[in-house]
Structure 1
Amino acid sequence: MSSAAPVGARPPAGKTFFGHPRALSTLFLTEMWERFSFYGMRAILVLYLTAAVADGGLAVGESTANAVYGTYNAMVYLMALPGGWVADRLIGARRSVLWGGVVIAVGHYVMAIPTGWSVFAGMALIVVGTGLLKPNISTMVGDLYERDSPRRDAGFSIFYMGINLGAFIAPLITGFLGEKINWHLGFGAAAIGMTFGVLQYVLGRRNLGEAGARPADPLLGADRRRALNRIAVATAVVAVVLIVLLLAGWFTVNTVVNLLTAVTVLVTIAYFARILTDREISDTERSRMKAYVWLFVFAASFWLIYDQAGSVLNIFAADRTDRNVGGFTFPASWLQSVNPILIIIGAPLAAWLWLKLGHRVSTPTKFAVGLVLNGLSFVLMAAAAQAAVGGDLVSPWWLVAVYAIQVAGELALSPVGLSATTKLAPVKYASQMLGLWFLATAVGDAIGGQVARLAESWSQPVYFLTFGLASVVLGLAAVMFTRQLRQLMAGIH
């Protein structure tokens, strides 16, 4: 991940944005529109893949569609690692965000082309673009403040409001256009949203000063040429593999999904092995990393369930819920707006609660709470699925309640995990550990996509109850081993 810019890389003084540097408004709107495009497309992706050809869809089986969705999410987070490296060593955060936004917009425009192949080509472009934009725009927000500025946390809070604002609005627009008019029109709306984000980013660049203007640790001369050559070779290898798969007749959606899932898991294992076997880190740092391995497993398990909101639960919303209100059947994807609005409401409450509790509740305990709540949401989902057995439509309030429980779990685990990542990181790997935290989501989504295949072959009540209880049991196990984990954390709460 990109590290903070050197002191003095502050934006120019002048007008402010809610008392913060004016540049925050530029980054806020860029992130808002990027999240609009991301969540807008994601809200209708599985519905489009599974829709009948007569309804404009691809008629892909639910199991394959769920796996595609999970793998796509995983790749987005996995690409944050090379995206941060490109900014750090080659072109800087500012240009990474710009080019990332352009590639994302192009990807959505490709998806708007009314052909079968466009969705997969578009997703590949969006993955690359998001890898460039997502980690580096957060770095630029940090560049707006001195490291110890009391306004820094408040600035990030405003920035994250942009994330959830975009995520809330997007499904309402893309969902209506996609489900009620034309799927590709919904994808086109996501493209227009990202275009707005790029345009205002370019127009607002004068507010940014030197923030993100240069690489934090640039490669020069022979080192730069060597790195570019390695990138070229890696790209060529990937191209050759794809060509071989194509010529051998193995280039199918399922083959690619399975390959990318394996890559995600193997990259994670290699990353942890590299850190844990590094002789330059101290025994205390190694102990803390051993604790972090368990926190990572807990987080990946959490996202495995949580991010099925856009796949398995989205299909349930389309097929098993009564969405008729006053004669109007609202799009199933509109329910994807529930999570972000609940996060907007709940985040300040969660922040207040953790501040009030202080060190009385440890990090492993907070993770355990997140896992238990996440599991209980699927137990409740099992009851909803049981009520829908026989073809009956259930109230959408079941899903609203499920999402409310999941959001409570997310607020217990996600921000706490981000904080724990920075505290447990070995000094040598401080800037890379945020990338490792992104990998927890990538692994959870990749494996979750494979697990979600079972939703088509198992009965839905059994599916939800099995994984719901598994998450609850894992959360209770985390509570039982809290003391051991705290010992490994060596003084970190």
Structure 2
Amino acid sequence: MLDKGVSTTIEEPQMFGHPKGLFYLFFAELWERFSFYGMRALLTLYMVQEIFKAIVERDAATAAVYASYGSLVYASTVIGGQISDKILGMRSSIFLGGILMAIGHFVLAIENDIAFFLALAFIIVGNGFFKPNISTFVGALYKEGDIRKDSGFTIFYMGINIGGWIAPLLCGWLAAEYGWHYGFGLAGIGMMAGLIFFWSGIKKHVFGDKGMPPSKEVYEKAIIGIPQKTLIPIIAVLCVPVIAFVLSSYKSITSEDTFLIGEKNLVGIIFLAIGIAIGVYLVNILIKVTLEERKKLIMAILITFFMTLFWGFHELSGSVITLFASRNVDLTFMNASQTNSLNSMFIIILAIPISMLWAYLTKKNMNPRTPYKFGFGLILAGLSFYILSISKGSANAEGMVPFAYLIAMYLIISIGELFMSPVGLSKITDLSPKNIVAFMMGIWFLSSAYAFQIVGFISKQLAVESTDANVGGLDTLDIYTDGFLLIAKYALGAGLIVIVFSPLMKKLMGKVH
């Protein structure tokens, strides 16, 4: 029997008290995240050891491409979401995105530098269509006021973390045992598995009429004689070589004949221009809104800024921290790429206990408001990097540190993530003026893209200049641990600033908790 207040229809297939479609989306997203995180776990090491192995500045080139890739992956979701809302609908967008991503993973299995950049471009374009729409699809399964919606998203996000936990373990093992391209190939198979689950859900009609194009007329409207439902996939594919060219502008680091403003490559220039435009637009909005709206909007901007800073430190896991694990950590039961699974593993273990903690504190009227949670999250990020910095004191003669330090680092930063990430998105919707909520949601998603620009900057500062494929030792340890200490200071400082100014932020937020 359904709880009072649940709004549903008899025709909707149900499973375990939720729409049956939720579980098809759960497995589709699990396998999509399997492909995404499985590839990401290998990417930095593959670039350092294969793509750029012949150049001295291989770490710097890797940092630039990894940052550009990460930024474009998250920025593409803003465009893909808009196209889905206005033309394609969620079903067609998810299929188009999944197919493009699968092509990208399989192209990565080709041992060729041009194929490498084309593969990343396919994944970027595909992710733009897939990622924003499958999450939105989950919400569409529930009618407004359905009290099961929050628990439905909890189940769905567990699929994300299961994929993020298993993928590095399997893809990392396969790459180590049989070769890089077997690992990338397995990621592609994961993406295809996700599409098969999604397709089977459609064939079994578990989604009802959800996810269809918003307008059949617009969907089939011809432009230059081609229906939009066909034209958009064509344009998406045509964008791939353009994005591949943009990604290859990493050469600006080592050559003066390519795109260069300071030390930025082409992607860095693009995001700098976008950032300036967003800043000007926000200032214009702040001038026009009421005093009460201005206070809340300032708080929304601050939350987004601090979340960007946190993700900038957190996403080092796929770049600098993976290289540190490869070169300076005495790994015992997993290889360097497999250590990328530790974050998702701790999220799975800790998500329910921490949510229970917030529920308990709420009953005691002691649940910290959002600014305090953000401050503590940044402090925990700082502590996690401080632990890596002091690992130097336990290094052996070869500059290898105990694996326990890396495990402790992931444990602490995962707790920090659970302090910040789950509450941030909902607060953006609460704090933003109604007429720009969609715009601020776009800014929130773009914050992850800008976080990768931070990743690229830090990674370049910690680059090891050598053509030796077996870089390691005490010199490398000094570079990394000194860098981790500096990151710790910045993160701790940012967290303390947030804590000190939390009373002021509380006033800006008003009644929003």
Q: Pick the TM interval, shorter chain.
A: 0.7 to 0.9
Residue 211 of structure 1 is matched in structure 2 by 210
Counterpart amino acid of residue 350 in structure 2: G
1:90-105 counterparts in 2 under 5 A? 90-105=87-102
Q: Distance in 2 between the 1:186 and 1:442 partners?
A: 25
Q: CA deviation at 1:270?
A: 2.7
Match of 2:407 among 400, 403, 413: 400
What is the aligned partner in structure 2 of residue 478 from structure 1? 498
Task: Select which of 336, 341, 346 maps to 1:342.
Answer: 346
Is residue 11–residue 207 contact of structure 1 (8 Å, CA) maintained in 2?
A: no
Contact 2:121/2:244, CA 8 A, preserved across alignment: no
Q: Give, in whole Å, the separation in 1 of the partners of 2:106 and 2:244.
A: 27
SS in 1 for 2:206: helix
Contact map agreement 1:11 1:211 (CA 8 A) in 2: no
- Tell me how far 1:281 sits from its aligned partner: 4.6
Please give the alpha-carbon distance, in whole angstroms, between the structure 2 residues aligned to 1:154 and 1:67. 39
- Which residue number in structure 2 is paired with residue 469 of structure 1? 489
Shift of the alpha carbon at 1:32? 0.5
Query: What secondary structure does 1:117 align onto?
Result: helix
Give the 3-state SS of the residue equivalent to 1:267 in structure 2: helix
> Which letter maps to 1:338?
L
- Letter aligned with residue 455 of structure 1: L
Partner residue of 1:30?
Answer: 28
1:198 aligns to 2:218 (yes or no): no
Question: 1:41–1:84: structure 2 CA closer, same or farther, 3 Å change rule?
Answer: same
2:421 alignment partner, one of 414, 417, 426: 414
Matches within 5 A, 1:155-234: 155-205=152-202, 206-215=205-214
What is the match of residue 5 of structure 1? none
Alpha-carbon distance in structure 2 between the residues aligned to 1:265 and 1:223: 36
Distance 2:455 2:9 in 1: 41
* Contact kept? 1:78, 1:264, Cα under 8 Å: no
Deviations 1:19-66 (A, max 9, x none): 21111111111100110000000001011111157xx96767122212
Structure 1: how far apart are the matches of 2:21 and 2:29? 13
Instruction: Work out which of the residue numbers 113, 125, 129 in structure 2 matches 1:116.
Output: 113
CA RMSD of aligned residues (A): 3.5
Match of 1:3? none
| Residues 363 and 58 of structure 1: CA distance in aligned 2, closer, same or farther (over 3 Å) | farther
The question of whether the paired residues in 2 share the 8 Å contact of 1:100 and 1:133 is answered with yes
Match of 2:470 in 1: none
- Structure 2 CA distance for partners of 1:49 and 1:99, relative to 1, 3 Å: same
- Of 108, 111, 132 in structure 2, the residue corresponding to residue 135 of structure 1 is 132
Cα offset for 1:11? Answer: 9.9
Shift of 1:351: 1.4
Equivalence map 1:225-374=2 (5 Å): 239=242, 250=257, 258-278=265-285, 281-324=289-332, 330-358=334-362, 360=366, 361-374=368-381
CA distance in 2, matches of 1:405, 1:490: 31
Question: Do the aligned partners of 1:89 and 1:218 also contact (CA within 8 Å) in 2?
Answer: no
Q: Quick one: which amino acid aligns to residue 285 of structure 1?
A: E
Contact residue 260 and residue 266 of structure 2 kept, 8 A: no
Q: Relative to 1, partners in 2 of residues 1:479 and 1:256: Cα closer, same or farther, differing over 3 Å?
A: closer
The answer (yes or no) to whether the contact 2:300–2:431 under 8 Å persists in 1 is yes
Does the residue aligned with 1:208 lie in a helix, a strand or coil?
Answer: coil
Contact 2:376-2:416 within 8 A present in 1 as well: yes
Tell me if structure 2 keeps the 8 A contact 1:180–1:331: no
Paired residue for 2:391? Answer: 384
The equivalent residue for 2:456 is 449
Q: Secondary structure at the match of 1:150?
A: coil
SS of residue paired to 2:438: coil
Residue 125 of structure 1 deviates from its aligned partner by: 0.9
Change (3 A) 1:127 1:408: same
Aligned amino acid, residue 28 of structure 1: F
Query: Does the 8 Å contact 1:93/1:215 carry over to 2?
Result: no
Kindly provide the CA deviation profile for residues 380-410 of structure 1, in whole angstroms up to 9, marking residues without a partner as x.
Answer: 1101245337523222121110000000100
Segments of structure 1 that go 5 or more residues without pairing to the other structure are 1-7
CA contact (8 A) 2:41 2:168 kept: yes
Gaps of 5+ in 2: 1-6, 465-477
Check whether the contact 2:12–2:208 (CA below 8 A) recurs between aligned residues. no
Structure 1 CA distance, aligned partners of 2:351 and 2:277? 34
Displacement after TM superposition at 1:71 (Å): 2.3
With normalisation by structure 1, the TM-score equals 0.87
1:437 correspondence with 2:437: no
Q: Point out 4+ residue stretches in structure 1 off by more than 3 angstroms.
A: 8-12, 56-60, 216-225, 228-233, 238-246, 248-257, 278-283, 385-390
Select between 187-196 and 450-459 the one with higher mean Cα deviation.
Answer: 450-459
Q: Which of the numbers 70, 74, 96 marks the counterpart of 1:77? A: 74
SS where residue 64 of structure 2 aligns? helix
**What's the offset of the Cα at 1:284?**
2.4
Identity %: 34
Counterparts in 2 of 1:389 and 1:453: CA distance versus 1, 3 Å: farther
Give the Cα separation in 1 of the matches to 2:438 and 2:164: 27
Partner of 1:51: 49
Shift of 1:101: 0.6
> For this pair of structures, how many residues does the alignment match?
477
CA distance in 1, matches of 2:438, 2:308: 21
Q: 1:240 to 1:210 in 2, by over 3 A?
A: closer
CA displacement 1:93-130 (0-9 Å, x = unmatched): 11111111111101111111121222211111101111
Indicate if the aligned counterparts of 2:213 and 2:219 stay in contact, CA closer than 8 A: no
